Structure 1
């Protein structure tokens, strides 16, 4: 695995944090919320993160089979859960920790599976 490939789940995580901040900033201001979100610097930063992620993702897809590349995106679930706990004080129950462990084990299984030539 190339180190740059890890930028995909990291940028996905950053994007979700930025979108969360954008949503919190806009609140529930009736019909005006969409204008507030679209004019938010958090939202604009999320778009930049998405564009950067897309560019790297295209590189990953050009170098890997999609069946091996796509599980890389699942690491985002684990990163987002950890950031939600750390930055936003969200609870992290044992079942979520176990699920995160299973996600990581599944990613490892897919990444290390040898190809069969029939």
Structure 2
């Protein structure tokens, strides 16, 4: 596995982590009633961590795009959807129905087809 491929996998992980941090942070923000509603997210450490993760992801993504075709890299980034859905189902107790799991499976299969063709 090349360094650029490792960076692409890392980008999938960071994209997933950012969404999970933002979700947890916003859940905590909604539960808190202190301060102005539009400022609450900016005071929540998990929201700030999610935003910082997005910044790091963007920097890493620029490196990935300099080495891998965007026609392959961007679909691979979609694997983060599956990671987030799995996390939400197994760690957050969200109900994920059969249709959503089928959608995740289609994404994974589609990325597999693209990766195999590359």
- TM-score normalized with structure 1 length: 0.86
CA contact (8 A) 2:82 2:104 kept: yes
Structure 2: state its 5+ residue gaps: none
2:41 counterpart residue number: 37
Superimposed CA distance per residue, residues 9-57 of structure 1 (whole angstroms, 9 cap, x where no aligned partner): 2111111111112211111749812211101111111122111111111
Equivalence for 1:14: 17
- Tell me what 1:5 maps to: 8
Residue 47 of structure 1 corresponds to 51
The 2-side partners of 1:49 and 1:99 are apart by 26
- Runs (4+) off by over 4 Å: 28-31
Q: How many residues align?
A: 114
Equivalent residue runs for 1:35-114 within 5 Å: 35-114=39-118
1:63 partner SS: coil
